């Protein structure tokens, strides 16, 4: 009797760590017999989710419980991946209830409601644990996603907002995984939004856009009210600032940008902010904004 109580205590503790699911193999390892397991199934203490995996206590599971059960149902070495990994990391809402799992077995396990992907192996740096569930890392998950560019951009933005990725480490991972599916589209997206032009190249690309918008030549790297600004038009009271990195600007950087913009605006200047990528890839948009700003004229009356 004492042994049975101890077995149950250990089983409950393990199930609690696994979002209230447990496998038949785990129960056997804890000392339960096949007969004891079947008795608990008949008595409603264990509820079959997939073959060999049980919900403990009651059949209802949280979403995390179902994700954990799917991983356990696919055997040793299985990890949540693709859309389901993105769901677990909170970087994307799932398209449906299908659960995506990567397995290393020679033939993928077939389970209703589970989409499996066979991989000969997953590098240790591609696997993590989130909410106690084995899963691909945020970087590997982003590589695995097959999405429209706008959806992929939204996922990358969300991962960055949650501090799950940063441009430098993501770019390094893409370089190390060159040639693998998903890397090309992700690298193209990253290049557009983390583009960093040199000062000379930025000036060479931006000034003609300003000229086409009807603006006179700007002052570059001018000092105004204690701040150095990228482009300044004294006759228009107009300042343009450019950000090299759209992703992963730290709270300190964002606060510094806000203070500068607020100080310049309080001094009567119009402050516009563009990314380097907008200057490089969206010159028409930048031109329209500059044309509108130039047509409104200076915000302060000129001294007689």
Q: Which CATH number belongs to the domain containing residue 248 in this structure? A: 3.40.960.10
Residue 300 lies in a domain: no
pLDDT at 231: 93
Least confident of 122-136, 199-213, 241-255: 241-255
**Proportion of the chain above pLDDT 70, given as a percent:** 90
Q: Where do the DSSP E strands lie in 119-200?
A: 127-130, 133-136
Q: What is the pLDDT of residue 208?
A: 94
- Position 151 in a domain: yes
> What's the mean pLDDT in 112-131?
90
Indicate if 174 and 232 belong to the same structural domain.
no
Residues 84 and 173 occupy one common structural domain: yes
Where are the alpha helices (H) located in 162-234, listed in sequence order?
Answer: 167-176, 183-193, 199-212
Is residue 270 domain-resident?
A: yes
Do 23 and 40 share a domain, yes or no?
yes
Which residue range forms the structural domain that includes residue 143? 76-193
Q: What CA–CA distance (Å, rounded) separates 137 from 122?
A: 11
- pLDDT at position 300 is 56
Same domain, 54 and 89: no
Q: Are 180 and 204 within one domain?
A: no
Decide which of 194 and 205 is more confident. Answer: 205
Q: Which segment, 47-61, 151-165, 241-255, 284-298, is predicted with the most confidence on average?
A: 47-61
Q: Is the dihedral of CA 14, 15, 21, 26 positive or negative?
A: positive
Indicate whether 115 belongs to any domain: yes
Query: 176, 193, 210: which is the final residue of a domain?
Result: 193
Residue 302, domain member (yes or no): no
Note whether 216 and 152 are same-domain residues: no
One domain, residues 88 and 132: yes
The confidence score (pLDDT) of residue 139 equals 92
Tell me: pLDDT of 303 over 60: no
In a domain, 68, yes or no: no
Strand order in the sheet with 53-56: 21-23, 53-56, 46-50
Pair (225, 248) in one structural domain? yes
Same domain? For 234 and 284 the reply is yes
Q: Are residues 80 and 184 in the same domain?
A: yes
- The rounded distance, in Å, linking the Cα atoms of 204 and 196 is 14
Q: What secondary structure letter does DSSP report for 173?
A: H
Number of domains in the chain: 3
Report whether pLDDT(176) > 50. Answer: yes
Question: Same domain, yes or no, for 213 and 287?
Answer: yes
Residue 70 is assigned to a structural domain of this protein: no
Q: What's 131's DSSP letter?
A: T
Are residues 153 and 95 both part of a single domain? Answer: yes
Q: Which of 175, 193, 211 is the last residue of a domain?
A: 193
What is the percent of the chain with per-residue pLDDT over 90, rounded to a whole number?
A: 55
């Amino acid at each position: 009797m004492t042994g049975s109580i101890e077995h149950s205590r250990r089983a409950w503790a393990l199930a609690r760590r696994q979002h209230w699911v447990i496998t038949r193999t785990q129960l056997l390892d804890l000392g339960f017999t096949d007969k004891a397991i079947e008795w608990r199934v008949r008595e409603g203490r264990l509820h079959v989710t997939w073959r060999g995996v049980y919900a403990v206590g009651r059949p209802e599971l949280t979403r995390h419980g179902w994700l954990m059960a799917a991983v356990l149902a696919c055997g040793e070495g299985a990890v949540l991946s693709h859309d389901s990994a993105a769901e677990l990391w909170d970087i994307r809402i799932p398209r449906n209830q299908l659960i995506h799992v990567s397995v290393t077995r020679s033939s993928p396990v077939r389970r209703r409601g589970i989409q499996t992907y066979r991989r000969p192996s997953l590098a240790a740096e591609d696997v993590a644990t989130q909410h106690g569930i084995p899963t691909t890392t945020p970087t590997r998950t982003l590589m695995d996603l097959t999405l429209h560019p706008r959806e992929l951009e939204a996922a990358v933005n969300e991962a960055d907002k949650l501090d799950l990725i940063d441009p430098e480490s993501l770019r390094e991972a893409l370089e190390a995984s060159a040639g693998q599916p998903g890397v090309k589209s992700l690298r193209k997206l990253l290049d557009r939004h983390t583009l960093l032009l040199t000062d000379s190249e930025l000036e060479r690309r931006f000034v003609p856009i300003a000229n086409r918008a009807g603006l006179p030549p700007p002052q570059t790297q001018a000092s105004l009210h204690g701040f150095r600004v990228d482009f300044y038009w004294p006759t228009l009271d107009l300042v343009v600032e450019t950000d090299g990195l759209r992703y992963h600007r730290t709270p300190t950087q964002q606060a510094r940008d806000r203070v500068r913009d607020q100080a310049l605006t309080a001094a009567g200047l119009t402050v516009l902010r563009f990314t380097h990528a907008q200057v490089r890839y969206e010159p028409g948009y930048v031109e329209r904004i500059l044309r509108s700003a130039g047509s409104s004229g200076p915000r302060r009356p000129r001294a007689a």
